[in-house]
Amino acid sequence: MYACCRSIDDAVDQVAARGETVRPEVAGEMLVRAFESGGDLPGEEWMPAFRDIVSRKKIRRIWFEDLAIGVAGDAGPVNLQTWEELDRYCYRVAGTVGLMMMRVFGSEDPQAEPRALDLGRGMQLTNILRDVAEDARARRIYLPAREREKYGVRAEDLLMGRMSGHWAEFMQFQVSRAREQYRLAEPGIALLPEGGPQMSVWFMRELYAGILDPIEASGYDVFRKRHSLSMGQKLVRALGIWWKRRSGCRS
């Protein structure tokens, strides 16, 4: 699964490096080989295992095609205008992976699919909030223009790596939105098989959501450093989740 997603990303990077226009079809031939027929190319030793897992776990080809569309969209300048555009992007590059991993972890429950999308959305929003400065240097602005306008946050200031307008209030709104996605995702985690699958997803949810804390503590200054959790903080959070799940606590 990882190798296929990584190969889609690499295919886009190779086209972009040649200065060519990246189209979603860049991964099309690989997906034909993966889901239909055709000889594997050098570097695709993962194909037999991939075909086995997508067949056994009923993982849909459309999820990989949507992922390719999202990754291709990252190749050029990005300036999203609305929440709907950002939400669609989050689905393509993260929600699709959530749907895939739900199947890998052993759930085909349709009620879990919206919750997998919530978790993917929360994780991708966290990425975007953490990487505002890095993305701006690459001429990519994912924070919606219409929302930025309400708070007086100017695109030119983001590109210059500086705060403008009511930046703290704007980021507080975005962080709250991401946290709400994590909250919405929680009932879906309970629909996964108990044990390793549930615990793995709880860990991912807790560690990713935790990145929002240092962003918030910094006064939402994401320009001077890339915020993350230390190894010690990760261990404390992981142990906390393990203890809560082990003791049956849901609060």
Helix-, strand-, coil-residue percentages of the chain, each rounded to 5: 70, 0, 30
pLDDT tens per residue across span 48-67: 899 999 999 999 999 999 99
Whether 2 shows a pLDDT value over 50: the answer reads yes
Nearest Cα to Cα of residue 241 among 213, 207, 190? 207
Please report the pLDDT score of residue 24 as a whole number: 64
Assign 244 a pLDDT band (cuts: 50, 70, 90).
confident
Nearest Cα to Cα of residue 125 among 83, 63, 64? 83
Can you give the pTM of this predicted structure?
0.90
Assign 38 a pLDDT band (cuts: 50, 70, 90).
low
Assign 211 a pLDDT band (cuts: 50, 70, 90).
very high
Please report the pLDDT score of residue 35 as a whole number: 86
Please report the pLDDT score of residue 9 as a whole number: 87
- Beta-carbon neighbour count of residue 66 at 10 Å? 19
Going from N- to C-terminal start, the domains of the chain cover: 1-75, 77-251
Tell me the one-letter amino acid at 166.
Answer: H
Whether 83 shows a pLDDT value over 70: the answer reads yes
Please report the pLDDT score of residue 251 as a whole number: 43
Question: Looking at domain 77-251, what is its CATH homologous superfamily?
Answer: Farnesyl Diphosphate Synthase (1.10.600.10)
Mean pLDDT within 159-179? 96
Q: Are 113 and 119 in contact (CB under 8 A)?
A: no
Nearest Cα to Cα of residue 4 among 60, 52, 64, 84? 64
Assign 249 a pLDDT band (cuts: 50, 70, 90).
low
Assign 74 a pLDDT band (cuts: 50, 70, 90).
confident
pLDDT tens per residue across span 86-143: 999 999 999 999 999 999 999 999 999 999 999 999 999 999 999 999 999 999 999 9
Strands (E), the chain: 78-79, 140-141
* DSSP assignment letter at 79: E
